[in-house]
Amino acid sequence: MNIEYASRRLANGLDVIVHEDWRCPIVAVNVWYHVGSKDERPGRTGFAHLFEHLMFEGSAHYARGYFHPLQEAGAALNGSTNADRTNYWEVVPVNALELALWMESDRMGYLLPALTPGKFANQRDVVLNERRQNYENRPYGLATMVLVGALYPPDHPYHWLTIGEPDDPRASTLDEVHAFLRAYYHPRNASLTIAGAVDADRAFALAREYFEEIEPGPDVPPVRVPLPALAREERRLVEDRVELPRLYLAWHTPALFEAGDAELDLVADLLANGKTSRLYRTLVYERRLATEVAASQNSRELSSFFQIVVTAAPGRSLAEIDTVITEEIARVQADGPDEGEMTRSFVQAEAHFVQRLQTVGGFGGKSDQLNAYNMFLGDPGYFGRDMARYRGATAVALRNAMRRHLSPGTRVAVSVVPSGHLELGLPGSRVETRA
Amino acid sequence: MAADRSRLPAPGPEPAFAFPAIRKHTLGNGLQVWTVEHTAVPLVTLLLLVPAGAAADPAERPGLAALTGDLLDEGAGDLSSIAMHEALARIGARLDTDVGADATTISLTALARFTEPALELLADLVLRPRFEAAEFERVRERRLHRLLQLRDLPQAIADRAFVHLLYPGHPYGHLAVGTEDSLRGMTLDEVVAFHRRAYALSRATLIIVGDGRHDAFVEAARRVFDCPSATPDGIAVDAAALLLPAAPRERFALIHRPAAVQSELRIGQVATSRHSPDYHALLVLNMVLGGQFVSRLNLKLREEKGYTYGARTSFDFRRGPGPFVLQMSIQTDVTADAIRESLAELRAVRAERPPEDGELEMARAALTRGYPRNFETAAQIARAAAQLALYELPEEYFSEFVTRVREVESEAVRRAATGYLEPDRLVTVIVGDRERIRPTLEQAGFGPIGEISLP
């Protein structure tokens, strides 16, 4: 199983990847820029995400909102920013492919002349409202900020979230915004995928027509930081407007695609995803100490973190839940997963990969995956080998990854408790006060 | 060749699109079996539509349909709860039970080579749930905890208060999740009785979409599902849900959320049903007003004013008269301004600023040109087919949609705006910090402000 593709690099350094899929008369245009919150600095956080907003507000040759012409042509469109990269996509009827390429290329090459102080101020306000809606006014919304704050040192680029600190966009000048754009939003730092009901030769010709004229842009040196490590367990506590306490546990783990990354992804499923998982069974189903539990290997380019999130049932303490989690992890570290667990995890991983072949565009569609593999590995055709990473994971490898990376002595534990109930958090936690 | 940047490229001729063919069968017990061949990837989606949802909850038992749906996978046939989930995992299945106002859908997407075992597990879930007392207690407790948590979520508080005010004493007056009092009083017998009435195969539709042949799908469905239905009649459509509700007690309600940095807003009214002759005109109207990024409301409140991360409107078309709602999260200090702007837009679109030709063309284009991408995956096709089944729409509905929307004229949109956006019927709910917003709300003169707490 694979995602067939052809690729070329344009003279200005832009990677162009084409995948043909003739099932539905639509085509996906997907652009990745290798810029995320990891490329920001303290005091100027939130830039990459604010930029994602500004990229929809017009460019030199179409200085108005991007949604109107694209939606009028029948497009779905969106963008997203994370720590490592920013992506933009349109899914258009095949007859509007040129429109999508025109617009993506115009904002790649000619954004600045259209970027006015008024647009900047407006989108800064919108982003501050996004922050209020998704973090400040949402139960448990500040926990992840505290978690990454404790997990990474202040000068590490994963120390802050993509949404950024609220005061930073207010403090930044339009000149700084321009400089950020010139540094990162150009062909040499981008990857374009066209996927859908289009002939590959035509797609490459169109990509050249619209993108090859754009200046390549400066070299973007890779971000190099020492691997973060914890010398001891770090405990934090946040009071929030919540009814039930919640515990966030996190460990440093190997980066995306490195040895141990796929194994820990499978460990996350084994521990806490679905009703057959170990922690669901003990914490939620049998002992009813918790109302919900989830785990994930948050795979990232510089290094990853493994996370378990568990919400206590009323009247239950996070300390007793933590004991059960630690015991269960120790049990798997000693004995490894059983045969039934491994069988299920292989089939589920297979189903996961097959599901990823269903759409040409949008978040997680085939075009997004081709760009991801290209950006992080320089190999758009990695789908099959990615799947092989999961197929090749053994019970022993899972056990060893857990032994090596999920130690109770070097983790971050964030307790979120109802305001005024500090006693419900893990003992010895440092109380965080942040808005 | 350099690109011509003097103008946007005009779209080429519109591509042809064939809508997926649905083949229909009826089993001996009355179960409708609809199949679609979709061979793109080796997956199959099974969807069972039971035409009874939260509106079928007895008046004193909001949440019964949802709790029943939640219990299906907690032990069924020969399998305990854990064994059921292990079996689902062994075929790579994803199970999703959704309880809406009018229907319950149980859908299962699995690797296509496991179509038969997937059907067998689905049949166990739907026909032979064990409904054991211990599982009932456990799941009820979990849902009570969920309700407790929803009390902290401003969006959930607003939704719950909004339908409660809008539909007094009506089957649409509660959310599927129900209320604490109702869940505490619920008994296992009530669940068993609800299941017996609602899950009658004679009224259900099984939709199979995926990598396989019609005949094989139907044959497998026959083997697994063609058993005598326990209750041949099932639930008749509840006539009460088809009626208009009584007038709301409050028009402008405030729910206090101390120190909230945003106010959560709902403005709306009871609108119309899925069978309204104005359906397509209302879709177009909604696109102009708040149904897409470039709608009047979002452009005004987000892109011009920066008051919110996004504003939107929707008509929820149901078997009976569903709601129209405008919703957004507003920065606290501009709450009154945002409400004033929203009400002004609702008034203007039916009076001094009816949709212009350009806006209408844009709305029609956005609805029709992107239509094919709604049919890319097996799950999308299954959900679309379920809408046909639930609302008894004709086969040609998909193929005619584009034409019907294109035919919507400006006069029809105007009529729809006048008929379904009535300023003196609008109900407003705000969840926010009373201390900071009440004075400006009073100054703004929106009328009497009733302070309420959650039902």
CATH for B407:
3.30.830.10
State the total domains in chain A: 2
Instruction: Tell me, yes or no, whether A147 lies in a domain.
Output: yes
Residues A271 and A331 in one domain: yes
Residue B188 in this model has a pLDDT that exceeds 90: yes
Q: Given an 8 Å threshold on Cβ–Cβ distance, is B81 in contact with A311?
A: no
N- to C-terminal Cα separation, chain B? 66
Give buried/exposed letters for A365-374 (b at 16+ CB in 10 A, else e).
bbbbbbbbbb
Residues B165 and B289 in one domain: no
Residues B98 and B226 in one domain: yes
| Residue that finishes a domain, picked among B222, B239, B256 | B239
CA-based nearest residue in chain B for residue A347? B92
Distance from CA of B321 to the nearest CA of A (A): 29
d(CA A247, CA B251): 41
State the total domains in chain B: 2
d(CA B34, CA B52): 19
Instruction: Tell me, yes or no, whether A122 lies in a domain.
Output: yes
Residues B227 and B372 in one domain: no
Residue of B170, B177, B241, B164 whose CA lies nearest to B427 = B164
Decide if B235 contacts B205 (C-beta within 8 A).
no
Best mutation target, B19, B145, B284, B301, to test chain A (most A CBs within 10 A): B145
The boundaries of the domain holding residue A272 are: 234-431
Residue of A356, A285, A363 whose CA lies nearest to A324 = A285
Instruction: Tell me, yes or no, whether A220 lies in a domain.
Output: no
Residue of B17, B123, B20, B15 whose CA lies nearest to B379 = B20
DSSP B157-201: HHHHHHHHHHSTTSTTSS-TT--HHHHHH--HHHHHHHHHHHT-G
| Residue that finishes a domain, picked among A155, A180, A211 | A211
Residues A207 and A240 in one domain: no
d(CA A426, CA B243): 53
Residues B257 and B212 in one domain: no
Largest Cα–Cα separation, chain A: 65
d(CA A350, CA B321): 44
Residues B82 and B169 in one domain: yes
Out of B85, B91, B148, the one facing A274 most closely (by C-beta) is B85
Q: Given an 8 Å threshold on Cβ–Cβ distance, is B307 in contact with A129?
A: yes
- CA B138 vs CA A286, A309, B74, B84, B131: distances in Å: 9, 21, 10, 17, 11
Residues A129 and A181 in one domain: yes
- What does the radius of gyration of chain A's CA atoms come to, in whole angstroms? 23
| Residue that finishes a domain, picked among B197, B213, B239 | B239
Distance from CA of A129 to the nearest CA of B (A): 5
Q: Given an 8 Å threshold on Cβ–Cβ distance, is A358 in contact with B376?
A: yes
Would you state the pLDDT for residue B231?
A: 57
Residues B389 and B274 in one domain: yes
Pairing of strands B262-270, B427-432: antiparallel
Distance from CA of A300 to the nearest CA of B (A): 26
d(CA A42, CA A159): 9
d(CA A264, CA A271): 10
Would you state the pLDDT for residue A170?
A: 83
DSSP A175-211: HHHHHHHHHHSSGGGEEEEEEESS-HHHHHHHHHHHH
Out of B86, B151, B307, the one facing A340 most closely (by C-beta) is B86
Residues A250 and A139 in one domain: no
Residues A95 and A239 in one domain: no
User: What is the strand order of the sheet A190-196 is part of?
Assistant: A6-9, A15-20, A190-196, A26-33, A86-93, A76-81
Would you state the pLDDT for residue B358?
A: 96
d(CA B337, CA B307): 9
Q: Given an 8 Å threshold on Cβ–Cβ distance, is A274 in contact with B89?
A: yes
Q: How confident is the model at residue B40 (pLDDT cuts 50, 70, 90)?
A: confident
Residues A148 and A50 in one domain: yes
CATH of the domain at A279: 3.30.830.10
Residues of chain B in contact with residue A69, where contact means CB-CB under 8 angstroms, are 8
Decide if A238 contacts A416 (C-beta within 8 A).
yes
Q: How confident is the model at residue B236 (pLDDT cuts 50, 70, 90)?
A: low
Decide if A181 contacts A113 (C-beta within 8 A).
no
Residues A269 and A367 in one domain: yes
Condensed to tens digits (0 to 9), the pLDDT of residues B74-101 reads 999 999 999 999 999 999 999 999 999 9
Q: Is the dihedral of CA A307, A313, A315, A316 positive or negative?
A: negative
In the three-class reduction of DSSP (H, G, I as helix; E, B as strand; rest coil), residue B48 is classed as strand
Decide if B294 contacts B358 (C-beta within 8 A).
no
Residues 6+ apart with CB under 8 A from A406: A251, A267, A306, A329, A333
The two tokens of residue B143 are 């849902």
Share of chain B above pLDDT 90, in %: 91
Largest Cα–Cα separation, chain B: 74
Instruction: Tell me, yes or no, whether B155 lies in a domain.
Output: yes
Out of B89, B261, B368, the one facing A348 most closely (by C-beta) is B89
Would you state the pLDDT for residue A174?
A: 83
Q: Given an 8 Å threshold on Cβ–Cβ distance, is A358 in contact with B8?
A: no
Instruction: Tell me, yes or no, whether A361 lies in a domain.
Output: yes
CA-based nearest residue in chain A for residue B39? A23
Residues B294 and B347 in one domain: yes
Residues A166 and A241 in one domain: no
Angle, vertex CA B426, rays to CA B241 and CA B168, nearest 5: 35
Instruction: Tell me, yes or no, whether A217 lies in a domain.
Output: no
Distance from CA of B327 to the nearest CA of A (A): 13
Instruction: Tell me, yes or no, whether A25 lies in a domain.
Output: yes
Residues A162 and A271 in one domain: no
Residues A70 and A188 in one domain: yes
Residue B1 in this model has a pLDDT that exceeds 70: no
Decide if B360 contacts B301 (C-beta within 8 A).
no
Q: Chain A to chain B, count of Cβ pairs less than 8 Å apart?
A: 214
Out of B85, B294, B377, the one facing A358 most closely (by C-beta) is B377
Would you state the pLDDT for residue A1?
A: 86
- CA A416 vs CA A98, A280, A402, B25, B27: distances in Å: 50, 20, 25, 54, 53
Residues B47 and B90 in one domain: yes
Instruction: Tell me, yes or no, whether B30 lies in a domain.
Output: yes
Angle, vertex CA B410, rays to CA B300 and CA B317, nearest 5: 75
Instruction: Tell me, yes or no, whether A226 lies in a domain.
Output: no
The two tokens of residue B30 are 């009355």
Q: Is the dihedral of CA B290, B296, B297, B302 positive or negative?
A: positive
Condensed to tens digits (0 to 9), the pLDDT of residues B296-315 reads 999 999 999 999 999 999 99
Residues B126 and B221 in one domain: yes
- CA A16 vs CA A192, A203, A221, A291, B382: distances in Å: 5, 9, 21, 47, 34
Residue B208 in this model has a pLDDT that exceeds 80: yes
Would you state the pLDDT for residue A171?
A: 86
Q: How confident is the model at residue B235 (pLDDT cuts 50, 70, 90)?
A: low
| Residue that finishes a domain, picked among B218, B239, B260 | B239
Residue of A197, A185, A215, A188 whose CA lies nearest to A18 = A197
Best mutation target, A64, A275, A390, to test chain B (most B CBs within 10 A): A275
Q: For residue B157, report the phi and psi dihedrals to the nearest 5 degrees.
A: -65, -45
Residues B179 and B160 in one domain: yes
In the three-class reduction of DSSP (H, G, I as helix; E, B as strand; rest coil), residue B415 is classed as helix
Would you state the pLDDT for residue B230?
A: 57
In the three-class reduction of DSSP (H, G, I as helix; E, B as strand; rest coil), residue A240 is classed as strand
Instruction: Tell me, yes or no, whether B18 lies in a domain.
Output: no
Residues B185 and B150 in one domain: yes
Residue B199 in this model has a pLDDT that exceeds 70: yes
Q: Given an 8 Å threshold on Cβ–Cβ distance, is B376 in contact with A360?
A: yes
Phi-psi region of A378 (alpha: psi -120 to 50; beta: other; left: phi over 0): left
Residue of B290, B307, B333 whose CA lies nearest to B432 = B333
Residues 6+ apart with CB under 8 A from A81: A36, A37, A48, A49, A51, A52, A162
Looking up tokens 């948050």 gives A298
CA-based nearest residue in chain A for residue B88? A344
N- to C-terminal Cα separation, chain A? 47
- CA B441 vs CA A19, B165, B328, B345, B426: distances in Å: 55, 19, 17, 18, 16
Residues 6+ apart with CB under 8 A from B357: B410
Q: Given an 8 Å threshold on Cβ–Cβ distance, is A351 in contact with B370?
A: no
Residues A244 and A288 in one domain: yes
Q: Is the ipTM of this complex over 0.90?
A: yes
d(CA A44, CA A46): 7
Decide if B307 contacts A129 (C-beta within 8 A).
yes
Instruction: Tell me, yes or no, whether B438 lies in a domain.
Output: yes
Angle, vertex CA B189, rays to CA A312 and CA B132, nearest 5: 55
d(CA A294, CA A309): 5
Would you state the pLDDT for residue A172?
A: 82
Looking up tokens 């959560």 gives B264
Looking up tokens 């166990």 gives B124
- For chain A, 435 residues long, give each residue's pLDDT as a single digit of tens: 899 999 999 999 999 999 999 999 999 999 999 999 999 999 999 999 999 999 999 999 999 999 999 999 999 999 999 999 999 999 999 999 999 999 999 999 999 999 999 999 999 999 999 999 999 989 999 999 999 999 999 999 999 999 999 899 888 888 898 999 999 999 999 999 999 999 999 999 999 999 999 999 999 999 999 999 999 999 999 999 999 999 999 999 999 999 999 999 999 999 998 899 999 999 999 999 999 999 999 999 999 999 999 999 999 999 999 999 999 999 999 999 999 999 999 999 999 999 999 999 999 999 999 999 999 999 999 999 999 999 999 999 999 999 999 999 999 999 999 999 999 999 999 999 864
CA-based nearest residue in chain A for residue B330? A129
Residues A203 and A247 in one domain: no
Out of B17, B294, B304, the one facing A68 most closely (by C-beta) is B294
Residues B62 and B35 in one domain: yes
Q: What is the DSSP letter of A137?
A: T
Residue of A15, A24, A427 whose CA lies nearest to A192 = A15
d(CA B38, CA A358): 11
- CA A284 vs CA B63, B145, B419: distances in Å: 21, 12, 50
Looking up tokens 């208060």 gives B161
Q: For residue A390, report the phi and psi dihedrals to the nearest 5 degrees.
A: -80, -40
CA-based nearest residue in chain B for residue A349? B92
Instruction: Tell me, yes or no, whether B304 lies in a domain.
Output: yes
The two tokens of residue A311 are 């919400």
Q: Looking at per-residue confidence, does B218 or B239 come out higher?
A: B218
Angle, vertex CA B381, rays to CA B378 and CA B382, nearest 5: 85
Instruction: Tell me, yes or no, whether B156 lies in a domain.
Output: yes
The boundaries of the domain holding residue B333 are: 247-451
CA neighbours closer than 13 Å in the CB half-sphere of residue B388: 22
The two tokens of residue B454 are 């959650």
Instruction: Tell me, yes or no, whether A47 lies in a domain.
Output: yes
